[in-house]
Chains A and B, each alone.
Chain A
């Protein structure tokens, strides 16, 4: 497989990246680990006359855990997420999800920034970041701005990021309570048939807060506010699980593909969300 020819750029600072993006407009794309973009270029589904490799740009790595927030640099890999014990303590759902992404070799290259910025509905991190109410930091010619993950995704591969902007970091409020990332896939390395990210807060036997997001069940990740609301004030019994699953079904819009017809995907989504809620509740 031979992708179309391109000019390769490896700037060493963000000013250099922005200058290239301004010069080449939508003929340029930034690349982090390349494990979404390179396959698309090999299939010639992505045409990138100017490829800007971020590997030498300083300031895009690192995981820092503060008293209220976690900041993850865009170039942090899935392997880095799995290996960070402090992160696994502060936000264990991140490791649980990263372990279900692709395989070891791909996780060594694939980054958090690439996963969330690409806008592929099959990627796991966008839904997860919506569940966690994360904020994405973007830098462009006019400076820096923050966009909530829940407002970032517009359609498949279409996001709030403009052509001249680069996603530099993800900031997550320290999550509270129990968690679960549940993913149904056909094989290792496959995208989800359905996946659910759940964070749930418990006071005694009553759920006081719940956040639920679904992956690969629409052309964007789906933060289902209604599904979370259906659990609040309940003891997360069978009736509450059914109500949350019903509410979630109202928000997703899966389409048929080689992972199955619409009815099957809806069925799997229901099973997965119940499993995720049950597991998160048991850990809350």
Chain B
């Protein structure tokens, strides 16, 4: 058993500080230590993307990062993207366009899609499919997920234009 180390991180804007074994996987830190249960454990082998979070603006699979690596990191999960009272346009679009069925992959899907729209605010359908390739959905066949992201992009761009 190795010694616990002192970890500091920011999760959804909130500073967190704790002792942890370095081998703890970030997804367990979030879910079991910090009770942030939006990011899900699907495959736990970096294939399915249900555990996707954003670290320093980049999408990362939290099942394939040790908590020690994330010491000092600024992390955003689905909880930091939007909640019941202030849905993100992606969340609204997934609801309106049936971008989910069982919902298990959805937090990872929306977290990844939010980063994708930061990288590319006007993606084509093909760019969405390529940019979402690290997230698996076993229900929808992806069609409505792509539709939802296209709709959210249009909504975000329209409100940006209106604000100018």
Complex partner residue of A108 from B58, B66, B68, CB under 8 angstroms: B58
Give Cα A267 to B49, complex, Å: 33
Contact A8 B65 (CB under 8 A): no
A50-75 vs B, CB cutoff 8 Å, 1 = contact: the mask equals: 01010100000000000000000000
For chain B, give the interface size range.
20 to 34
Give chain B interface residues in 28-75, CB to chain A under 8 Å. 44-47, 49, 52, 58-61, 64-66, 68-69, 71
Give Cα A4 to B5, complex, Å: 16
Number of interface residues of A (CB under 8 A): 28
**Interface residue A10 (Cβ < 8 Å from any Cβ of B):** yes
Contact A105 B49 (CB under 8 A): yes
Give Cα A3 to B44, complex, Å: 12
**Interface residue A259 (Cβ < 8 Å from any Cβ of B):** no
**Interface residue A35 (Cβ < 8 Å from any Cβ of B):** yes
Give Cα A106 to B65, complex, Å: 11
**Interface residue A193 (Cβ < 8 Å from any Cβ of B):** no
A22-49 vs B, CB cutoff 8 Å, 1 = contact: the mask equals: 0000000000001100110110000000
Complex partner residue of B22 from A7, A42, A106, CB under 8 angstroms: A7
- By a CB distance below 8 angstroms, the chain A residues around B66 are 8, 34, 38, 51
- By a CB distance below 8 angstroms, the chain B residues around A188 are 133-134
Give Cα A42 to B45, complex, Å: 9
**Interface residue A79 (Cβ < 8 Å from any Cβ of B):** yes
A interface residues with partner B (beta carbon < 8 Å): 1-8, 10, 34-35, 38-39, 41-42, 51, 53, 55, 79, 102-106, 108-109, 188-189
Closest 5 CB pairs of A and B: A103-B134, A8-B22, A8-B68, A5-B2, A105-B134
11 residue pairs bridging A and B, Cβ less than 8 Å apart? A5-B21, A5-B23, A8-B68, A10-B68, A34-B64, A42-B45, A103-B49, A103-B133, A105-B59, A105-B134, A189-B134
Q: A38-B65, A104-B133, A189-B134 are in contact. List 8 more A-B contacts (CB 8 A).
A: A2-B23, A5-B21, A7-B22, A104-B59, A104-B134, A106-B46, A106-B134, A108-B59
